[in-house]
Chain A
Amino acid sequence: MITLQSDQLLFRFPEVEEALRRFIEEHIQRTVPQMLAEDREKVITKLETQSPLRYVADSTRQQASDTIRKATAETIATALRFKCRGYPGMEPKPGRSTLKVEFQRTLRIPDDGRDYPLPAGLGRFPLQHVDDFPNKVPEAWLKHGGVMMPMHQSEALWLRFDGQYPCAVKVAAGKINAVTGEGWTAELRREPQNYLVMPLQRWLDGFAVSKGIIRQFVAMPLGGGYSVEEQLTGQADVGGIQIQVFPLKSEVYFHQHMAGKLPTKLEDLLEELVGPMPQMATRFCAEPRLPMTEIYSDMGLGAGGMMRQEVFKDRRDFADWDTSLPSRCFVHLCNSQVWRQITGSNPPHPPLTAREYSRQGIPWFDYYRDDLGAVSGSEVLAGVKSVLEMGKAKQTAPLPDNASVTPEVIVQYGNARRPDEVREWQGS
């Protein structure tokens, strides 16, 4: 199930959430009798001698103790459900099992043979349902379904993924897989790995050409021969970006990420049964922490400059992915003029040049995780000519403002930090 909200694609898996809710309910049914059978006085003595109830006022301690003594099966089950409210399937608002995908405007890095750090995100590209403009978009777009997005010629983008529930995500441009360089197939495959692993992979900026190096996604009109699709297939008839998402099997998620953390003893439910204790507010109010998106109106993605970015290896058992629940979306790319004609609205401003980017002091980012391992990149994609090289062969200059720059402000992200650091630039 995919919805579009605030220019983000939301991939949600209600079947997974329902299964997780069922697993939690089964846990509750199993656990309540065990909790009921616990020696209440022992529980109270333990809580009174240890931190939660030790330093509270006598009246509060007395009240808490009485509540524990009188807890029924029903109140314990309610407290358990409340305790589990932050887990996927139990949250009152959908979110934890949703993968959000958005497309960030960014600097097109110079294609000069050097490898650059990651440029910042400069805001989301707007997205619209193609079905909203049935009389204005090409027939093929209606056939493909999905959404559309405007890009200026030779503009770059990166994909931002946001979600905590593990997913395997295939990304293709013109139905060429951005990780393997192979033509589109519906399958998820481990050897060679043809997908990204969420939530490890927060961003994808381009085609994986070698280990730790990508070539930036750069929009070019289809039909000009610049796109990776045209170079590899000899055809210019698909374009756009294709995304397919496979969730982790719900039973695997439950056993690996939830089962060991669910409350099993009455003492785990103190706050849910009697309310927060003054001294332990910060300790007990925290949410359960989980482990860790025939007309030339079409644009395709070509290969731009080189950038340091790893596509992380999947370290899970391949059978853990639920290949019965794929969800996919076609993202059509159109040039800004055609976007204006179709939607009547203006696309975002043209992107910054590298020089303007430096002048404004916008940072670059380096993100290394040498503890995770990266795929080796695709030889097929490594053999593709970049947009600049194609331009030279055609004796044209498809990339304006390609002068080299020296990134000065580089923000380092790495092993020691959580892999969800912000890369969006909000302005100074």
Chain B
Amino acid sequence: MPHVSSFGEFLRDRRLTRARSDRRFSLRQVATRIGIEPSYLSKIERGEQPPPGEETICRLADELEADRDALLALAGKVSGDLLEIIRHRPALVAELLRAIRRAPARQVAEMARQVRDGEW
């Protein structure tokens, strides 16, 4: 399961980088702050356990200052709000995602951004 390993590796790298300058990022302290057992976090980091649920991943992302969506994607998951958007208009969202698959990032950012209307 390569995605498990890459998710775990990412977490471990990120945590250890922070831990070099801040002891609060030890395995035990991070696990305690996000409400899971240190041994469970250790197994996730080593790829011995699949990624946890969305809520825990989001807490991990916040704790390690990572992007929630990026970390969820690394775990092979899609956040609940995005799922809701896809369920609402599945064909349209699928079409949009396929259309932007090869578009440069700048173009995607432009597309995602609507011109805001205010009070006239």
Contacts and interface: CB of A to CB of B under 8 A. Distances in A.
A4 B92 contact: no
B114 interface: yes
Given A92-B98, A93-B99, A175-B120, A129 B92 contact: no
Interface in B1-27: none
B113 to A, nearest CB: 6
B120 A129 contact: no
13 contacts: A3-B114, A5-B110, A14-B92, A18-B92, A21-B91, A92-B98, A129-B115, A144-B120, A145-B117, A147-B115, A329-B117, A330-B117, A330-B120
Contacts of A17: 92
A4 B89 CA distance: 23
A238 to B, nearest CB: 8
A222 B89 CA distance: 45
- Interface size class of chain A, counting residues whose CB lies under 8 Å from the partner chain: 20 to 34
B103 to A, nearest CB: 10
A5 B117 contact: no
A146 B89 contact: no
B111 interface: yes
Interface in B55-97: 89, 91-92, 95-96
Contacts of A147: 115
Contacts of B99: 92-94
Interface of A: 1-5, 9, 14, 17-18, 21, 92-94, 129, 131, 142-147, 175, 184, 238, 242, 328-330
Given A18-B92, A92-B95, A93-B99, A4 B120 contact: no
B92 A143 contact: no
A2 B118 contact: no
B117 A4 contact: no
Contacts of B107: 5
Contacts of B89: 14, 18
Nearest to B100: A93
Given A145-B115, A145-B116, 18 more contacts: A2-B117, A3-B111, A3-B113, A5-B111, A18-B92, A21-B91, A92-B95, A94-B99, A129-B113, A131-B116, A144-B119, A146-B117, A146-B118, A147-B115, A328-B120, A330-B117, A330-B118, A330-B120
Given A2-B114, A4-B110, A146-B115, A242 B92 contact: no
A145 B120 CA distance: 8
A147 B117 CA distance: 9
Contacts of A175: 120
Contacts of B96: 94
Contacts of B115: 2-4, 9, 129, 145-147, 329
Nearest to B98: A92
B116 A146 contact: yes
A342 to B, nearest CB: 17
B86 to A, nearest CB: 14
Contacts of B92: 14, 17-18
Q: Which of B107, B111, B118 has the most CB of A within 10 A?
A: B118
Shortest Cβ-Cβ A-B pairs, 4 listed: A145-B118, A145-B116, A2-B115, A144-B118
A145 B113 CA distance: 13
B47 to A, nearest CB: 37
Contacts of A238: 120
Nearest to A240: B120
Nearest to A186: B120
B111 A129 contact: no
A157 B109 CA distance: 28
Contacts of A131: 116
Contacts of A242: 120
Contacts of B91: 18, 21
A131 B89 CA distance: 28
A320 B91 CA distance: 26
A129 B115 CA distance: 7
A328 to B, nearest CB: 6
Nearest to A5: B110
A218 B12 CA distance: 62
A142 B116 CA distance: 9
B95 to A, nearest CB: 7
B118 A142 contact: yes
Contacts of A14: 89, 92
Interface centre among B99, B113, B117 (most CB of A within 10 A): B117
A329 B117 CA distance: 6
Contacts of A143: 118-119
